[in-house]
Amino acid sequence: MKNLFQKILLSLMLFGLFFITTTDNPVLAQSPQSLYDRAWSLINLKYVDQTNNNQDWQRWRHKYDDVIVTDEDAYVAIETMVSSLNDVYTRFLSPKEYQEESASIQGKLSGIGVQIGVRNGKLLIIAPLEDTPGERAGLKAEDEILEIDGKSTKGITVDAAADKIRGQEGTEVKLLVKRGDEPAKLYTITRANIELKSVSTKLPENIVIAPNIGYIRLSSFISRNAAIEFKQALDNNKDKDALIIDLRSNPGGLLTNATYIADYFLNSKVIVSTVDRDGYKETSYSSKNTLTQKPLAVLINEGSASASEILSGALKDNNRAVIIGKKSFGKGLVQEINRMPGGGAMHITIQKYLTPSGTDINKKGIEPNITVDYTKKDVENKIDPQVAKANEVLLQQLDEN
């Protein structure tokens, strides 16, 4: 299970922290060679490291002139060129990959609302999303999907399975599912448009906190709606005296979401600074009006990255929250999404960012104020020592005040 989650987390990490931009006439068809040329030019113009990983970038300009014939040839050539930067966050997305990413940013997709993964050759449901056809049908975590529409899932990849399960709203998909030692059961589920929610106020199972303390989990900053959802969660917790904000395993997303949410808590303070390839530094400040002054505890772990680190770093450096958990991932780079001819896109690292204190956390992470482990044994025993510590710290603060 741990290895599976690590693979899922790694794929999510690639979302990183980004702006969205466009190229001129991005969907017009162009030759495969011009597609490669466009990728080369974008990196030459925008990549944060002007040395391009200490190499002569000109050597890539015409390297594949004689071999690029199809779009697929261009994709492979671009990926090879980009890999020379040794930057996993600068990458090319095929039209299909960009379409899927765009759906995540828009916060919507059509399907049944389950997260899936492959472990030991088995296609498993990681978790059904709340209030979706999959959850309403009774699907549960650890269910094994044996067949999709009558076809075996043996040897199937996650991407291929996702393609088969997704589909137009109102259509049906049939899943043959095995749960533990129970006989396999056939589920017929009608697909729907799924709203991908980034925020939940539901505590982890079997976890209890004081009734006057609120809990808000932010799972990602990817959706355009994340900051709006978070504000709604704050409104729903107006009766609470203090708040736990759970950013654990949140891989990041849109820079704007991180700054908007930080602005809810900070009064005329530095949120983050960005530095581009020319050394130009731009600083973002919060407004004068906060939404709440309630005590805060923020939970982070090794999977909290990018926008999660901007938010937790801003709250920590401004002494606005107590950070609890484990050191964060350490991604202090900003990507820009550039739409490409033919429907693909390029993620290009264009800036590094600094926390309010001027700290570059790339490959270093945010250190918590209070370090608390959360072990596999804790999961098995259905306890959460990090939430428990946050509850304890906030109650102590409330007593002191």
3-state secondary structure of 119: strand
Dihedrals φ, ψ of 280, to 5°?
-75, 125
Distance of CA 345 to the CA centre of its chain: 18
3-state secondary structure of 248: coil
From CA 230, how far away is CA 8, in angstroms rounded?
24
Cα distance between residue 230 and residue 269, in whole Å: 20
| CB 343, CB 95: distance < 8 Å | yes
Catalytic residues: 306, 317, 331
Rg of the chain over CA atoms, in angstroms? 23
Best CA proximity match to 396, nearest among 370, 363, 378, 375: 370
Number of Cβ within a 10 Å radius of residue 387: 25
3 state DSSP class of 313: helix
- State how far the Cα of 332 lies from the Cα of 78, in Å rounded to an integer: 24
How far apart CA 328 and CA 333 sit, in angstroms, is: 14
- For β-strands 122-128 and 114-119, DSSP reports them as antiparallel
Give all strands (DSSP E) within 141-269, no chain letters.
Answer: 144-148, 151-152, 172-178, 185-190, 192-195, 199-200, 213-218, 242-246, 253-254
State the sign of the Cα–Cα–Cα–Cα dihedral 108, 109, 113, 115. negative
